[in-house]
């Protein structure tokens, strides 16, 4: 929570500084750059490039901070040019749908599709010129694909990030459990979430790593958990205080 508050405060301070009548050359350069066509494309590219890594390592800070700040810089710059609130409202709606998908119903369901469509529409509507809007969309999609490739290639093998990836299912060597009745002996036992449960992830029970799922929307990493039942060869856990 403190990390999210600091991230929001940082983005707010940046936007306030950009709007303030400060004569510092660096601030004026950043403000003018963000409102220009190429500056907006670079901000958008960074935002989309880090979006999927941010979703895969939610709560760690680095990727999500860069993505959020890049999105803030992009839409602030576009708003200074168009003075149109509609793209911001559409983007906020898209962010809501993506948040529902990540925190409540992970996968590629209807909320994710609606969120992707809203974000695409927000980017397109941020440019009065339709051709520039289509070019921005192509940059966004190319950056998103590059971010997915980087996330799948480097995050699972990086010792600093692989333990935070909750969307990657555990391997048989990592989980070391037999499906079915063998898991029933774990019901009632306590352990620790080794990744954030959103609602699925990994839990450590009796020194062994298992795939786990919570009935809650979100359980933070390193939270104490207790196994309440087994469903479809998966441990169902709840957070304990």
Same domain flag for 58 and 139: yes
Indicate whether 127 pLDDT > 60.
yes
Same domain flag for 158 and 228: no
**Domain annotation covers residue 107:** no
Write down the pTM of the prediction.
Answer: 0.54
Rounded to 5 degrees, φ, ψ at 18 are: -65, -30
SS3 string of 215-227? CCCCECCCCEEEE
Q: Which residue has the higher pLDDT, 103 or 17?
A: 103
Same domain flag for 72 and 173: no
A 10 A CB-CB count for 207 gives 6
Dihedral angle computed from the Cα positions of residues 151, 91, 28 and 45, in that order, rounded to the nearest 10 degrees: 30
Same domain flag for 40 and 140: yes
Same domain flag for 222 and 158: no
- 167 DSSP 8-state letter: S
The residue segments making up the domain with residue 213 are 169-239
Closest CA to 91 of 67, 115, 70, 74: 115
Rounded to 5 degrees, φ, ψ at 207 are: 80, 5
pLDDT at 20: 46
């Amino acid at each position: 929570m403190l990390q999210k508050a600091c991230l929001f405060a940082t983005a707010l301070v940046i936007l306030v500084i950009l709007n303030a009548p400060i004569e510092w050359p660096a601030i004026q350069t950043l403000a003018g750059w963000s409102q220009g066509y190429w500056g907006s494309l670079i901000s958008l590219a960074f935002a989309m490039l880090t979006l999927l890594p941010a979703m895969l390592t939610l709560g760690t800070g680095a990727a999500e901070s860069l993505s959020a700040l890049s999105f803030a810089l992009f839409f602030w710059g576009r708003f200074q040019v168009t003075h149109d609130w509609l793209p911001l409202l559409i983007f906020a709606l898209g962010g809501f749908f993506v948040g529902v998908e990540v925190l409540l119903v992970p996968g590629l369901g209807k909320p994710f599709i609606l969120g992707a469509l809203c974000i695409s529409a927000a980017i397109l509507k941020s440019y009065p010129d339709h051709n520039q809007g289509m070019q921005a969309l192509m940059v966004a999609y190319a950056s998103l694909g590059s971010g997915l490739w980087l996330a799948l290639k480097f995050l699972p093998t990086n010792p600093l990030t692989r333990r935070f990836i909750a969307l990657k299912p555990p391997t048989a060597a990592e989980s070391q459990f037999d499906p079915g009745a063998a898991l029933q002996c774990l019901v009632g036992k306590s352990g620790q979430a080794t990744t954030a449960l959103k609602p699925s992830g990994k839990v450590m029970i009796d020194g062994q790593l298992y795939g786990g799922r919570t009935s809650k929307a979100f359980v933070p990493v390193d939270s104490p958990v207790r196994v309440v039942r087994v469903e479809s060869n998966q441990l169902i856990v709840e957070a304990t205080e």
